[in-house]
Structure 1
Amino acid sequence: MIRKSINNKIGKPTRRYLRYLGLNILFGTDRTKEILHVNPTLPPKREEAGEVRVFVFDYDASQLEEHEFNAVEACLQFRHSNRISWINVDGLRKADVEMVCNKFEVHPLLVEDILSIGHRPKMDEVEGVLFCLLNMLYFNDLEGTVEQEQISIVLGKDFVISFQEDASRDVFNPLRDKLRLANSKIRQRSADYLCYSMLDLIVDNYFLVMEKLGERIEELEEQVIRNSNSRALARISALRKEQIVLKRNIAPVRDLLGGIIRSESDLLDDRTTKYFKDVYDHIMQAYDLSENYRDIMINMQDLYINNVNLKMNEVMKVMAIVTCLMAPATVIGGIFGMNFDRIPYLHNDYGFFIAVGLMILIPFYMLWVFNKRGWF
């Protein structure tokens, strides 16, 4: 409770630096709970969006109508527009989602998936529509974390409906720019090509996130090599958590695209299948790269442990040498410090200097022997 109240009072830039002041903050478990707290058997407790925006692109090869609405009722008129309609709903409210899905005859099971939280990426074909659910990924440079936003894509006859959680960002701006061009390929094709273009942009953005994460891993590797301390271990732990988020989102998309490629739905044109295969190749490459990141993180943790052990061995080595060098002085001092009446050189005028000389010369001789044998 104390930590939550502190985090609420201070800003993000401040937290960025405060987290390095103490190990209890550095090794916090809040991110772990956020990643692992997923239970699909519980009803979703989704907060209603404060703002809902609806963007509609209604187009064919010769015409394009672009609209923006603040209420979902306005987009229902495009159900039978005799052109291809892309309806993008930013911000989810249960009543709005149910209204749109009822108008476009989307099955109630798919409505539950759209309103779900933390759902595994999937693909379904239900009653004449093709449904895709996956996450868009973003990299938060301030926090150094991988953020995800669930998006649901409904492909029907001459329409595509997309539902997004966040009304402030997405990865579809290049797609909107292409739709505004009269001679673009997407304007000449059917709705399944629009669905392909959306999936392609989402998957391509995975590589941008992985590139940012790869830069952090490269910096961390240099830090571990230079100085393997508790701070480096904390960063290794943090990056491994982000690696879990990355892999959890990338791996299921392979099955999603594989299901689309194997589908025999009438909504998918045979000419578009090769494009979905291209996206499948990209997601396989992203999955292989995520596996490489995982191997690098494991090797980095082993490197940290080896460096810590090497540092400990160096400390023990120095302590052992110091102990050996002090041994002759201890022995000589112990012998001449015995309480006997007759000890050699006890009453000699040069006895003290002889003892001190031996205490100095013998350690120097030992250092020469150690160096000759290559012990240090």
Structure 2
Amino acid sequence: MSKRKHMPKRNKILERKAGTKPGTLAIPAEAFAPRFFLMSFNEHMFEEVETHTYQELLHKVRSVPDARHWIDIRGYADQAVLEQVMQDFGIHALQMEDVINDYQRPKVEDFDQNRLFIITRMLRWSPEFKTLDDVQLSLFTGPNYVLSLQSDYGDCLDPLRERIRVGKGVIRQRPTMYMAYAMLDVVLDYYFPVMADIGIHIEDLETQVLREPSKATLSQILDLKSELVKLRRITWPERDLMNELLRMDDETIPDSLKVYFRDAYDHAVQLIDLVDNHKEMTSSLVELYMSTVSNRMNEIMKVLTIISSIFIPLSFIVGLYGMNFSHQDPDTGHTLRYNMPELYQPFAYPILLGFMAILILLQLYFFYKKGWFRSF
């Protein structure tokens, strides 16, 4: 998938205009101009081409009726082309509307003599912005073709294209339904590197929380929780998609192919387990952050408490001798025995300072015996 500039995310479902006629093809303003790719092959031949026009692509498909074709259209900006595709491949307007409004959840529909309409979502993790980018991939299966449509020019299907080019495996000998499975399998396979990248990000956040927790770290954790919620909304329908494919009759999906879809179903279940595990780890990070911040605050309060405990008795002594009661009666000159005679004793000031120093040392020894300095 091509790398785009990170923009604030919008909820496209909420942006949909209310009251629009069902089946209306509303082309997004940011849609790319369509590009047309074709791979035609069987056990004995292979041809790959990017055509300039849709009509040229259709002509090449019809010129080789005994081959199997992967018709790949990327970009939705030309409404006339999309309408022609609907007419040539018998696609309902509601289905094409789901293709263009590419915020659909993964699903599968059986229509028109065991032809399938499949929606899946391709994922990519952005290491720069720590966000998930997902692009909808729409598939239509036919007797001798698979038609794929997507809004972006780049995707994760290059490994499958390379397998077809070099003729590895059995994909050239299998029916087109196997090619549809291969596409879904590659899409799911790319979920696992995304999960691994998210796991690394979680470990990095855990290190930040333990070493130097900050509001920025907490913000990253909450952003990651939001991305995992989005990922869960994608992986669960992917599992349901595979389950629906496994339930279809043998005319639509032969029993010999269901073993492959069962393997893809197992992958989807593993992905759900990974997502739930990452969600739990992220929730634990929030708790760890709050605990770490609380512990650091307790350490600060502990230091302040020790400092306050040292200076409270000193402040009492200084305040006591700061009252300045006169030692003599100003009228008679008689000595007032109980009005701080220490103020006029020789060496009273250094004696008082020494007493205060001894008091500080006694307090420090007391705090040490209590173990208050062990966590410093």
Provide the C-alpha distance between the structure 2 equivalents of 1:41 and 1:348, rounded to a whole number of angstroms.
91
| Deviation larger for 39-48 or 132-141 | 39-48
Provide the C-alpha distance between the structure 2 equivalents of 1:133 and 1:308, rounded to a whole number of angstroms.
45
- Rg (Cα) greater in structure: 2
Query: Hey, what does 2:261 align to over in structure 1?
Result: 276
SS at match of 2:342: coil
Give CA deviations for 1:221-262 in whole Å, capped at 9, x if unaligned. Answer: 111110011221222123223223322222211111111111
From 178, 184, 193, give the equivalent of 1:208. Answer: 193
Asked whether 1:119 is paired with 2:95, we answer: no
From 195, 200, 210, give the equivalent of 2:180. Answer: 195
Provide the C-alpha distance between the structure 2 equivalents of 1:116 and 1:37, rounded to a whole number of angstroms.
8
Residue identity opposite 1:234 in structure 2: S
Provide the C-alpha distance between the structure 1 equivalents of 2:32 and 2:98, rounded to a whole number of angstroms.
21
Residue identity opposite 1:39 in structure 2: L
From 246, 249, 253, give the equivalent of 2:238. Answer: 253
Q: After the TM superposition, which parts of structure 1 deviate over 4 Å for at least 4 consecutive aligned residues?
A: none
CA deviation after TM superposition for structure 1 residue 158, in Å? 1.9
Residue identity opposite 1:346 in structure 2: L
From 162, 172, 181, give the equivalent of 1:177. Answer: 162
Query: Hey, what does 1:221 align to over in structure 2?
Result: 206
Query: Hey, what does 1:266 align to over in structure 2?
Result: 251
Unaligned runs of 5+ in 2: 21-25, 327-338
Provide the C-alpha distance between the structure 2 equivalents of 1:289 and 1:182, rounded to a whole number of angstroms.
33
SS at match of 1:39: helix
Q: 8 Å contact 1:46–1:117 — kept in the other structure?
A: no
Provide the C-alpha distance between the structure 2 equivalents of 1:165 and 1:203, rounded to a whole number of angstroms.
19
CA deviation after TM superposition for structure 1 residue 163, in Å? 0.2
SS at match of 2:104: coil
Query: Hey, what does 2:366 align to over in structure 1?
Result: 369
CA deviation after TM superposition for structure 1 residue 159, in Å? 1.4
Q: 8 Å contact 2:120–2:184 — kept in the other structure?
A: no
Q: 8 Å contact 1:107–1:126 — kept in the other structure?
A: no
Q: CA RMSD in A?
A: 2.2
From 153, 160, 167, give the equivalent of 2:146. Answer: 160
CA deviation after TM superposition for structure 1 residue 45, in Å? 5.3
Correspondence 1:89-108 to 2 at 5 A: 89-92=73-76, 93-108=78-93
Asked whether 1:84 is paired with 2:68, we answer: yes
Taking structure 1 as the reference length, the TM-score comes to 0.86
Give CA deviations for 1:163-188 in whole Å, capped at 9, x if unaligned. Answer: 01112x11112211222234630011
CA deviation after TM superposition for structure 1 residue 265, in Å? 5.9
Taking structure 2 as the reference length, the TM-score comes to 0.86
From 240, 254, 270, give the equivalent of 1:285. Answer: 270
Asked whether 1:142 is paired with 2:117, we answer: no
Asked whether 1:63 is paired with 2:45, we answer: yes
Give CA deviations for 1:138-160 in whole Å, capped at 9, x if unaligned. Answer: 12233232111111011122211
Q: 8 Å contact 1:63–1:182 — kept in the other structure?
A: no
Give CA deviations for 1:304-340 in whole Å, capped at 9, x if unaligned. Answer: 1111111111111111111110012111112222232
Q: How many residues get paired?
A: 347
Question: Relative to 1, partners in 2 of residues 1:334 and 1:247: Cα closer, same or farther, differing over 3 Å?
Answer: same
SS at match of 2:190: helix
